[in-house]
């Protein structure tokens, strides 16, 4: 049985951080109770974190029937406890996700931070760092990445953005090398995400630096990597920019940065 009871604890302040915690799901079986809750930050509902906790109980006697309809409400104490656990998990994950890429990744990071994102690093000067800037694990690009590591610690997640110039473009072998290098600079067992640079749905040939087919090539390479089980990386989806979100054919304007930031929040929180 699944129900959605109305259980809120106003403006709770678990762990000293203001927020609202709401029970969003309760699931009952013969032996288990599963509860899910969400917390919306005070800056808005752009990023919702959901957590699940499950309790196991002894099997009930077979001759004991469960009422067909139940409406259960958790006590404010439990909801506050849920909120404290969610907040602690969020605080622990701040700046836990690194990224590599070019100025396109900078655009995403700029919008992400402006929209309240905290899980991923903010911009750190990756302008012009296309794929070939990251294939050598001892390059200047990786040295800059390591200055972020010194600041925040080795990331438990890394977003690899495939970003290119029309010439020389990029090969799949180069993409695989980026993934290898990302693992070397991240925490052991780090999760690797991979995407292409943004595409332009209403103007596909928008970015002359990458070439008319360049943005789509990067997406295709990212999808290929995501489907390659030997690489163990995740492709979350495309980043998109529309005509009125671009300032020079390639890069995001202020509205475009906000759009990219919100897309990143949807991918990673």
DSSP 189-202: T-EEEEEES-B-TT
Q: Are residues 117 and 84 in the same domain?
A: no
Report pTM. 0.68
Which domain range does residue 24 map to? 2-92
Task: Give how many domains the chain has, as a whole number.
Answer: 2
What is the band of 165 on the pLDDT scale with cuts at 50, 70, 90? very high
pLDDT tens for 235-254 read 999 999 999 999 999 999 99
d(CA 104, CA 246): 11
DSSP-derived 3-state class of residue 244: helix
Question: In the prediction, which pLDDT does 33 show?
Answer: 40
Give the end of a domain, one of 75, 92, 109: 92
Whether the ω angle into residue 202 lies within 30 degrees of 0, i.e. cis, is no
Q: Looking at the structure, tell me whether residues 6 and 63 fall in a common domain.
A: yes
Signed CA dihedral, 111, 37, 192, 154: sign only: positive
Sign of torsion over alpha carbons 156, 267, 244, 216: positive
Residue that is last in its domain, among 92, 114, 147: 92
pLDDT on residue 149? 98
Residue 78 scores a pLDDT above 90: no
DSSP per-residue codes, 86-143: HHHHHHHTTT-EEEE-SHHHHHHHHHHHHTT--SB------TT--GGGTSSTTSHHHH
């Amino acid at each position: 049985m699944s129900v959605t009871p109305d259980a809120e604890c106003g403006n709770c302040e678990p762990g000293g951080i203001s927020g609202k915690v709401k029970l969003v799901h309760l699931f009952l079986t013969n032996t288990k109770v599963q509860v899910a809750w969400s917390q919306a930050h005070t800056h808005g509902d752009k990023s919702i974190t959901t957590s699940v906790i499950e309790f196991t109980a002894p099997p009930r006697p077979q001759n004991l029937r469960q009422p067909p309809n139940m409406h259960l409400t958790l006590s404010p104490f439990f909801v506050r406890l849920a909120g404290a656990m969610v907040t602690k998990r969020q605080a622990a994950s701040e700046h836990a996700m690194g990224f590599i890429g070019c100025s396109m990744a900078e655009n995403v990071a700029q919008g992400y931070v402006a929209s309240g994102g905290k899980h991923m690093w903010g911009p750190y000067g990756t302008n012009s760092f296309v794929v070939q800037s990251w294939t050598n694990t001892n390059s200047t690009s990786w040295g800059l990445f390591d200055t972020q590591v010194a600041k925040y610690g080795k990331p438990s997640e890394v977003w690899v953005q495939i970003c290119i110039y029309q010439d020389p473009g990029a090969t799949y072998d180069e993409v695989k090398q980026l993934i290898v290098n990302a693992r070397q600079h991240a925490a052991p067992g780090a999760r690797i995400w991979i995407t292409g640079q943004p595409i332009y749905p209403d103007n596909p040939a928008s970015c002359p630096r990458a070439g008319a087919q360049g943005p789509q090539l990067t997406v295709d390479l990212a999808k290929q990597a995501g489907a390659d089980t030997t690489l163990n990386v995740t492709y979350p989806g495309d980043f998109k920019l529309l005509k009125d979100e671009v300032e020079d054919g390639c890069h995001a304007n202020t509205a475009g940065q906000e759009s990219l930031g919100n897309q990143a929040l949807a991918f990673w929180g």
